[in-house]
Amino acid sequence: MSETVLRHWWLLALRGAIAIVFGVLAIAWPAITLLTLATLFAAFALLAGAVWTFGAVANRAEDRRWWVMLVLGLFSMGAGVLAALDPALTTLALVLVMGANALVSGVIDIVVAVRVRRFLKGEWLLALSGIVAIVFGVVVLLFPAGAGALALAVMTGFYALITGVLLMVLAWQVRAWSRLSGGRSSPPAGAA
């Protein structure tokens, strides 16, 4: 997975852009309903999952660990499909799906950050994005009934916005690293 991320910086940028749009929309609607939040979350999870799934499938020949990105993508799309099929899920179910999605995404982001640290100085941005996701996921999973629709929307919006910005900055750093590496946009095969 780290080889794919280093080779295709735009995957991080696209995932970051999707998160930023979701975050801004969630924060911009202060009177958001849970139905609207579920719809926004479904779109966010489906798009982010599609980006990772595409990256995994497109790079399976070059990246030994392409399946990790595929698992993340499929998990995210599954959460999105669940929210899309039944947007009127109870508050508790929606919160649990969102928390679980953030937790899994965060763990995988940290794993990738550790793997690319030898090649990239800004890997801490991906790790920080993973930590933000894990903190959000843990808080949501520990206190699922404590959040009203407005609090959940704002908290989710800030989580997505912070994560999106961190991923965009990291994407530009990966892009710069790719250009500085003399046209070689990834480490030698098997090194990552």
pLDDT in tens, 110-156: 888 887 777 767 778 888 888 988 998 888 888 776 656 667 777 78
Residue 81 falls inside a structural domain: yes
Residue 191 falls inside a structural domain: no
Residue 189 falls inside a structural domain: no
12: pLDDT strictly greater than 60: yes
Residue 163 falls inside a structural domain: yes
Residue 187 falls inside a structural domain: no
Average pLDDT, stretch 15-26? Answer: 86
Residue 54 falls inside a structural domain: yes
Tokens standing for residue 75:
């998990």
174: pLDDT strictly greater than 70: yes
Range of the domain at 117: 2-180
Tens-digit pLDDT profile for residues 41-50? 888 889 888 8
Residue 121 falls inside a structural domain: yes
Residue 192 falls inside a structural domain: no
Instruction: Work out the mean pLDDT of the chain and round it to a whole number.
Output: 78
Total domains in the fold of the chain: 1
Average pLDDT, stretch 68-76? Answer: 86
